[in-house]
Structure 1
Amino acid sequence: MGILGWIIFGLIVGALAKWIMPGRDPGGIFITILLGIAGALIGGFIASALGLGSANSFTIGSMVIAILGALLLLFIYRKMRA
């Protein structure tokens, strides 16, 4: 997947993560994209370490892994901020 694919994937994943876990978070679309990309990286790392797969292509499984990673990032961010 190229850089444009990762940006689109990050936007979709970040938006879904914020939709699943709503709240008052700073940032707009750029933070949402970065959240989604970072979530894909973290979710892919954890899933591959556990032998569950990875987030290296645009599939439903990789999207679920990326969303879980983004939700984890949101949870950690909110706990550190509170």
Structure 2
Amino acid sequence: MNITGLISAIIIGAIIGALGRLLLPGRQPIGILLTVIVGIVAAIVGTAIAQSVGVATTSGIDWIELVFQIGLAMIGVAIVAGLKARGRRGRIER
């Protein structure tokens, strides 16, 4: 992966992570860095799922692939926020 691909992955990951976080109801106690990381992972895994299903290569915008990516970002943000909130409760109770 060259520098252009890396920068593109970060930008797309940030957008996917932000969309996943915006669509997830409630407040998520995670920072922007974790949101971007979750978005990058969701974009990569969502693309792999779309390719395995056979919907990744269409003319124009790949809407189904985008839905996979945002859905995975929502799941990822929920998991990370839950783990982070669980860690905070454990510290407060002690």
- Alpha-carbon distance between aligned partners in 2 of 1:3 and 1:37, rounded to the nearest angstrom: 10
* 1:34 aligned residue: 37
Cα distance change, pair 31–37 in 1 and its aligned pair in 2 (3 A): same
Cα distance change, pair 70–22 in 1 and its aligned pair in 2 (3 A): same
Q: How many residues align?
A: 76
- Alpha-carbon distance between aligned partners in 2 of 1:33 and 1:50, rounded to the nearest angstrom: 25
1:25 aligns with 2:28: yes
What is the SS of the residue equivalent to 2:36?
Answer: helix
TM-score (norm 1): 0.70
1:73 pairs with one of 76, 83, 88: 76
RMSD between superposed Cα atoms in Å: 2.6
- Alpha-carbon distance between aligned partners in 1 of 2:54 and 2:75, rounded to the nearest angstrom: 18
Aligned-residue sequence identity (percent) comes to 34
- Alpha-carbon distance between aligned partners in 1 of 2:52 and 2:42, rounded to the nearest angstrom: 15
Cα deviation, 1:11-44, whole Å, max 9, x if unaligned, reads: 1110110001133434211011011101111111
2:18 pairs with one of 15, 20, 28: 15
> How big is the shift at 1:60?
4.0
- Alpha-carbon distance between aligned partners in 2 of 1:40 and 1:66, rounded to the nearest angstrom: 5
Q: Match of 2:24, as an amino acid?
A: M
Mark the runs of 5 or more structure 2 residues left unpaired by the alignment: 87-94
What is the SS of the residue equivalent to 1:2?
Answer: helix
- Alpha-carbon distance between aligned partners in 1 of 2:26 and 2:33, rounded to the nearest angstrom: 17
